[in-house]
Structure 1
Amino acid sequence: MQIAELYQIYLDYPTICTDTRQITKDCIFFALKGESFNGNTFAEKALEAGAKYVVLDDREYVQDGPAYILVEDVLSSLQALATHHRKQLDIPFVGITGTNGKTTSKELLYSVLSQKFKAFATKGNLNNHIGVPLTILSLPKDLELAIIEMGANHQGEIEFLCHIAQPSHGLITNVGKAHLEGFGSFEGVMKTKGELYDYLKEHNGQVFIQGDNEFLMKMAEDRKLKDIFYYGFSDKNDVQGGLVVADPLLTIFWKERGENGTHEVNTHLTGAYNTENMLAAVAVGLHFGLSAEEINAGLEGYVPQNNRSQITKTDGNTIIADYYNANASSMAAAIENIKVIKAERKAAILGDMFEMGDQSVEEHRKVIAAATAVGLDRLIFVGKAFFGLRDEVVEGDKDVENLMVDETKGVEFYETTEEAKAALVKDPIKDFMILLKASRGMAFERLMEVL
C-alpha cells in the first residue's frame, strides 16, 4: 500500500499503537520487529483487542479481509507516514537535542509556551527513530505549536529525525561526553548534535543558542548560522540571566537586552545547571511573543518528575533524585550542585555511567576525584566501573592524579545496587541532603526504599 493511501486511513482512524497491551478501540496497529520479538505474530491478537487495522510486513500472517495492510517494511512505513503527516501541519515545530538537559528543557518550553498556545511536547522519552514518528502521529488537530525532543546514540541519527520532524526552530542544550560507544569521540558528539543546526540552516529556521557555550558557538560559527537568538549569563546575549540562590530549589533572574530591571523567578527545580535550561525557555517564549508574566508563570509552574533534578523528601532525608540518566558532563554538574547547596550534612551516592566506550575508566576516575574533593559527610560509589577503581582510591595510588588518601576517608564502594542497599540498611543515613545520580540501568529507585 502506498503512503498516500495509508494516510487516508490514518485520517479516519488517527490513533497509532505498536504494543498489543495498549490497544485502544479503532486504532491502527503497526507490527514492529525487534531483536527478540516479531510484531507480525500479534496482528490477530491486536484485531481481537479492538484495533481497526494492522500493518504488517510478513505475508505469512496476513489473513483475508481489509483489516490487514501489507507493506514492504513496517518501521519505514511508520516513519514515512509521520513525515507525510508533518508536511500537512503548518505550525511551528521546535526541535530540541543535546547531551544533557533536553528533556527538562522540553518540559520547561512546554510549560512556558502553553501559557499562550495550544502546545504539545514529546511524551516521556519518545525521542528516537520510533518515538519521534509516534509523537508526530499523536498530535491533535487543533495544535498551534509542537516541541519535539530528538535523541541520538550514533552519527546521522539527528539528521534522520530532522527529516521526519522538519523543525522550524531549534536549540541544542549542550554537547558533552555521552554514548561515546556510538559517537566514537567528543567530536563525533558535536557533529551529530550539529545536524540540527545543519537542517535549520538549510531550511532557513530559527536557532536559539547559549551564547556563553564555547562549543555551541563554534558549531554555529563553523556553519555560518544567521538567524540566532542568544541566551546566557553575560550581557552580550539577547536574554541574560543567572542564579540567585540554590537552597536547594532554584531562584533565577532574567532580563532582555536593554531592559533596566530584572525578573526574579522561584522554581521547583534543583541543580544550578538548570539555570540555562530555564533561560532557553525564556528566550523561546520571548521569540513567540509571550509576556514576562506568562513566561514567569510557566517557569514557576513546572514541577519536575521522572527523577530528573527532582527533590524528594522522605521520612529521614531530602533526596536530589537525578538518576534517570548520567554521563560525564551531567555527573560533573550534579557534583558541583551538591557542593554549593546549603545543608548541615550532605551525602552523594553515585552509580556507573553507561555507554562510555573506551573512555569509561578515565571518566569514572574523574568523577571519583571530583566527588572526593567536595568533602561530603558520606560518599558511596556503586557499580562495576566504579568498583574497578576501588583499589586506586583505598590504597592512594600515587600514579593517579587527584586521588589522595586523606581525601577518601570513609568513601564506600559497592559492586551492585543491592549491595549498596544492604549497606544502607546496616548503616543508615538520617537527616541528610543526598544526591542520587546514576545511569538508568543502575535502578537507583531501589535505594529510595532505605533512604
Structure 2
Amino acid sequence: MYTINKIASVLNADAKIAAGDYVIEQLLTDSRRLIFPSTTLFFALATARRDAHNFIGEMYERGVRSFVVHPHFDTAAFANANFIFAADTLAALQTLAAYHRKQFHYPVIAITGSNGKTIVKEWLYQLLSPEYNIVRSPRSYNSQLGVALSVWQMNAENNLAIFEAGISMSGEMEKLENIIQPTTGILTNIGSAHHENFVSEAQKTEEKCKLFKHCNTVIANGDNNFIVDAIHQNSKANIITWGDNESNAVQIFSRKKNEENVVIELKYSNTVYQFNIPFADDASVQNVETCIAVLLNLNIPAEIINDRLQALQPVDMRLQLTPAINNCALINDSYSFDTASFAVALDFMQQQNQFTHKTVILSDVPGASKGAYAEIIFVLKARNISSTIVIGEQWKAYFPFLKEAIENVYHYNSTNEFLSQFSTSFFRNQVILLKGARRFGFENIAAMLQQKVHRTVMEISLTAVIHNVNEYRKMLNPGVKIMAMVKASGYGSGSAEIANVLQYHKVDYLAVAYPDEGVELRRANIRLPIMIMNIDEEAFEQVVQYNLEPEIYSVGILKKFDAFLNRQGLQYYPVHIKINTGMHRLGFGEDEIDILIEILKTNNRLVVKSVFSHLVASEDAAEDAYSFLQAEKLEKICSKLQAALNYSFIKHISNSAASIRLPQLQFDMIRLGIGLYGIDNTSNHQLSLQPAVTLKTTVAQLRKVKAGDTVGYNRRGKINVDSIIATLRIGYADGFRRALSNGVGKVFIKGKCAPVVGSVAMDMTMVDVTGINDVEEGDEVEIFGNNISISEVAKSCHTIPYEILTGISSRVKRIYIEE
C-alpha cells in the first residue's frame, strides 16, 4: 500500500500535503480515463502537443486530490489537494513504477523486437495460464509511458509477469530495463519498424538488447549471428537460441506446411519432438516457435505443449466498431478478458457518444479474484452502463452485487444458454461491448449481432487518424488550433465515428458542408463547435436549433441570417466570415468589406468567431507566390475588420498541405481534411503519416481460363496464356471504378499485385492471379491500404484521392479500428 507521503519519499521529491495522507491505488496520465478519484494519483505530463497541467482544475472538480506536477505549478487555487513536485513528471512515474517492481520477486519476462511482441506475449499468456497467475501489458502498452503503467499492475496474487518493451530511438531501452527489471528476455526479430530513428540495423539491435542487461536467460533466433553477438555484448545471460542451425539449443529440423497448419520437428536437450502449429503463415509460425522455446526452457512437458498449441487462438489486438442489428453498433473485443484490457475497451466505448444506451456483455474472468470482480462492478457503475449481461458460472457468486450497482442485469450460465434464450429485439439503438475470454466462444454472439452485409468492407483506423492529427500538431506553431473537416460523411469514412474520436482527442473545431451533416453530429452527441460551410434560408432554423455556426459568404445571406436572428430575439450568435481571395467560389470580395463592416460593427445579434479564406493551389510550389498573395489579402481584410469590431477572432487559410509546406500561413488555426486519413498531396517527408483507410474484399470464385478465351463484358479481357482468374466481390457500385478495367487497376493478394482483367462490372471484378501461390476462394484482397495507396488508385483513374474516398458506396460496411 502506498500513501501520498510514501510516494513523495520514493521520488525524493518536495510535496505539499493539504488533503491528508491519501492511499494511492491508481496512476493516471489521461484525464478522460478517471474512474476512482479518491485513490488516483494524477501525473501532469507535459509534451510538445499538450500540457496536462491544464486539466488539473477539471480533475480537482471531479474529486481527484493527489497530483504530481512541475515545481513552478501554482497550487493556490487548490487548497484541499496534495501535490508532489517533480522537474520531469514522466521520469517520476517511471521511478515509482521501478520501485513498485522491486517489491516482487517472481519471474518477469520482457519481450522486445521489431514485430511480434504483442502476439508472443498473448500466446505465452494463453499457454502458461494453467500454471501461473499472470500479469501482463494491456494490449501493446510498450512505450515509455505504457511500460510504467503496465508494471504498476503487479501485485502479490501474481506469480509471473510478461511485459512488452518497444523503443523508437536510442537511449530509451535503458529506462525500460530499469522499470521492468526482467529475469527472462525474449527477442522476437529485428525488422524495419522505427528504422528511421537509428543509424543502422546494427545500432537498433544493440539498443534493443540493452533490455537484457540483468536477465538470467534470453531467448532469441540463433540463426542470426549478429543478434546473438549483440545479446552477448549487453548481457551475461544464458542464451537459449532456436532456429534451423545445428548450433541452436532448439534446433528445428523440418517444417511441413499444410493449408491450415505446420508440423515442425525439432531437437531440444538431445530429444526429438514434433509439434503441430495451428497456423500456416510464416509470421505466426515464427512466433509460435519462439513460444515453444520458452515453454521447453520452463520444463513444460512436450505433450502438454502440443495440447495447448491446438487451443491457441489468433490474436486481434484491435478494437473493432462495426454496424449491428436494429441500428446498433458492436465493439467486438472478445479475444481475451482481464481487468486492464477491459478498462481500455470501456474507454473506447465511452467515446461512442452517438448512443445514449450502452450494454456490456461479459464472460467470467479466468483466474480473477474476488477483488477483480468487485473492481469490474465498480467500473461498470462509474461509467453509467445501462445494461450488463454476464455469462459464466463464476458470475453467480457476484451477481447480487452487480444487481445493486446496475439497473438492468442478466445472467446466463453459458454462451449457448444466452444464444438460445435471449431475443435480439432487446438490442436497439445502442452500443454493445462484447468482452469475453476465448473459451466462451463470444464470436457466436458477434455473429448474431452483426449486421449482415456483403463481404466488401472499408476499415478505418481511428488510431491512424489520431496519429496523423498528432503528426500535424507537432509541426504547428504554438497556440495554433485545428479544425477537422468531416464533411461528405468524413470523406466517406463516417462523420459521427470520426468526429467522436476527434472530440475525444481534443480537436478544436469541426467543419461540415451542409446543415444536415451538422445535425447528424449533434444527434450523435458531438459537443465541439461545428462550422457549416454552405447554408441557405431554409436551414436557419436547423442551424440555430442545433447550435451550429454558419459560414457567411455574401451580403445577401448575412442580411437574411441577421433578420432571422432578430425575429428570434437572439444575440451574439457565432458566425464565420468567408473572404474570397482568389478561389472565386464563395466569399466576400474586397469591394464588399465596407458593407460587411457597416452591418457588423453595431450589431449585437452576430459575433464573428473566425475570418478565413481558401487557398487555390496549396500543394503546388510553383504557385506559392499566389498563395502568399492570398494570405496577404486576408491579413489586410482581417486588420480592417479587427479595428472596426473591437474584439478578436480566429484567422485561418491553411489546409492540410499548406499547414506544413507554408508554416508562415498557419495563422490562428489550420483546417485538416485529407491529411487526417494519411494522404499527403505535397509528397512532404516531414510528416510520418499512416494510411487510415483500407478497402478490402474477398475472392468469390477461382477459374482456369484457357489462352484465347476472354473475360467479362464485351470480351474485352483477352487471355493470351492459360491463366487463373479470381472473381472479386466488388464492382463499380461499391466504388471500384470502371476506369480501372483492362489492366489499368490492380489489387493486392497473398503478398503480390494482381491486375484487373476485362471490364469492372457493377458488383464483381476479375483479376489475374496466375503465378500467385495458394490463392483460395474466400481469401482477403486489398483494394487500397498499406500496400496500394489511395493516391495510386486515384492516379490510375486520372482523378484525386478525395474522389476515390468519397466515392465508396454506402453499401460497403465501415469497420472502425482502434489498435
Q: Per-residue deviation at 1:24?
A: 2.1
2:144 matches 1:129: yes
2:153 counterpart letter in structure 1: S
Residue 241 of structure 2 aligns with an amino acid whose one-letter code is Y
1:279 to 286, 289, 295: 289
State the 1:56 CA deviation: 2.0
Q: Sort the Cα spacing of 1:234 and 1:189 in 2 relative to 1 into closer, same or farther, 3 A.
A: same
Amino acid at match of 1:301: L
- The number of aligned residues is 374
Q: What residue in structure 1 maps to residue 275 of structure 2? A: 263
Shift of 1:252: 4.2
**Distance in 2 between residues matched to 1:184 and 1:416, nearest whole Å:** 34
Secondary structure at the aligned position of 1:130 is classed as helix
Partner of 1:45: 58
The corresponding residue for 1:288 is: 298
Give the structure 2 partner of residue 303 of structure 1. 314
For 2:799 and 2:312, locate their aligned partners in 1 and report how far apart those are by CA, in whole Å: 38
1:371 aligns with 2:778: no
Distance in 1 (CA, whole Å) between partners of 2:33 and 2:162 is 24
Given that 2:10 and 2:99 are in contact with CA atoms closer than 8 Å, whether structure 1 keeps it comes out as no
SS at match of 1:301: coil
Deviations 1:290-329 (A, max 9, x none): 2334434543233311359x9999865599x99899xxxx
Preserved CA contact (<8 Å) 2:262 2:280: no
Q: One-letter code of the match for 1:28? A: L
Contact residue 460 and residue 815 of structure 2 kept, 8 A: no
1:238 and 2:249 are equivalent in the alignment: yes
Over 3 Å counting, the alpha-carbon distance change for 1:414 and 1:244 in structure 2 is farther
User: Aligned-pair distance for 1:210?
Assistant: 1.0
In 1, Cα distance between equivalents of 2:799 and 2:238: 50
- Map of 1:29 onto structure 2: 42
Using the alignment, how far apart are the partners of 1:382 and 1:97 within structure 2? Answer: 27
2:115 aligned with 1:73? no
The Cα shift of 1:379 comes to 6.3
The separation in 1 between residues aligned to 2:251 and 2:100, in whole angstroms, is 37
Moved more, 378-387 or 271-280: 378-387
Q: Give the alignment's TM-score, normalised by structure 2.
A: 0.39
Contact 1:383 1:417 in 2 (8 A): no
- Contact kept? 1:83, 1:165, Cα under 8 Å: yes
Shift of 1:214: 4.3
Residue 210 of structure 1 is matched in structure 2 by 221
Q: What is the distance in 2 between the residues matched to 1:423 and 1:3?
A: 54
Task: Please point out which of 5, 8, 22 is paired with 2:9.
Answer: 5
CA distance in 2: counterparts of 1:415 and 1:240, whole angstroms: 52
- Kept in 2: contact 1:382–1:420 (CA 8 A): no
Structural RMSD (CA): 4.5
Corresponding position of 1:17 = 28
Amino acid at match of 2:271: E
SS in 2 for 1:302: coil
Number of the residue aligned with 2:804 = 419
In 1, the alpha carbon distance for the partners of 2:223 and 2:803 equals 41
> How much has 1:118 moved relative to structure 2?
0.9
Please name the residue that 1:60 is paired with: 74
Structure 1's 49 and 230: CA in aligned 2 closer, same or farther, altered over 3 A? Answer: same
User: What is the deviation of 1:104?
Assistant: 0.8
Residues 445/188 of structure 1: CA separation in 2 closer, same or farther (3 Å cut)? farther
Percentage of pairs with the same residue: 25
* 8 Å CA contact retained: 1:121, 1:147: yes
| Offset at residue 45 of structure 1 (A) | 2.5
How far has the Cα of 1:275 moved from its partner? 1.0
Mark the CA change 1:322 to 1:233 in structure 2 (over 3 Å): closer, same or farther.
farther
Q: Is the 1:212–1:232 contact (alpha carbons within 8 Å) kept by the matching residues of 2?
A: yes
Whole-angstrom CA distance in 2 between matches of 1:134 and 1:66: 23
C-alpha spacing 1:423/1:133, structure 2 compared with 1 (3 Å) = same
1:227 aligns with 2:241: no
**Equivalent residue for 1:146?**
161
In 2, distance between residues paired with 1:322 and 1:229?
41
User: 176, 185, 188: which is aligned to 1:173?
Assistant: 188
What do residues 254-282 of structure 1 show as CA deviations (whole Å, max 9, x unaligned)? 5442334413243xx56322112111111
Verify the 8 A CA contact 2:10 2:96 in the aligned structure 1.
yes
Distance of 2:199 and 2:106 partners within structure 1 = 36
Instruction: Tell me how far apart the structure 2 counterparts of residues 34 and 274 of structure 1 sit (CA, whole Å).
Output: 36
Q: Secondary structure at the match of 1:262?
A: strand
| C-alpha distance in structure 2 between counterparts of 1:229 and 1:10, whole Å | 47
Matches within 5 A, 1:307-386: 307=318, 316-317=454-455, 344=702, 345=726, 371-372=752-753, 375=770, 380-382=783-785
Once the two structures are superposed, residues 97-121 of structure 1 have per-residue CA deviations (whole angstroms, 9 ceiling, x without a partner) of: 1111111111112222222111111
Could you tell me how far apart the structure 2 residues matched to 1:213 and 1:145 are?
A: 29
- Show the counterpart of 1:111: 126
Query: Are 1:192 and 2:207 matched, yes or no?
Result: yes
Offset from partner CA, 1:57-84 (integer Å, 9 cap, x none)? 2521452235333333321210110111
Flag the structure with more relative contact order, 1 or 2, with Cα contacts below 8 A and sequence separation at least 6: 1
Work out the CA distance in 2 between the residues paired with 1:418 and 1:91: 57
Q: Label 1:236 to 1:382 Cα distance change in 2 as closer, same or farther (>3 A).
A: same
**Using the alignment, how far apart are the partners of 1:274 and 1:31 within structure 2?**
39
Note closer, same or farther for the CA distance 1:223–1:318 as it changes in structure 2 (3 Å cut). farther
Contact 1:115–1:298 under 8 Å retained in 2? no
Unaligned runs of 5+ in 2: 13-19, 320-334, 336-442, 465-698, 703-725, 731-747, 755-768, 776-780
CA displacement, residues 171-199 of structure 1 (integer Å, 9 cap, x when unaligned): 111111222321133233223223224x1
- Local SS of the residue matching 2:84: strand
Q: Which segment drifts farther, 160-169 or 32-41?
A: 32-41
Q: Is the 8 A contact 2:68 2:85 kept in 1?
A: yes
SS at match of 2:74: helix
Q: Distance in 1 between matches of 2:792 and 2:82?
A: 57
Report the residue type matching 2:147 in the other structure: V
Q: Which runs of 5+ in 1 are unaligned?
A: 326-340, 350-366, 395-411, 430-443
- Farther off after superposition, 80-89 or 237-246: 237-246
Closer/same/farther in 2, CA of residues 64 and 96 from structure 1, 3 Å limit: same
1:170 Cα deviation after fit: 0.5
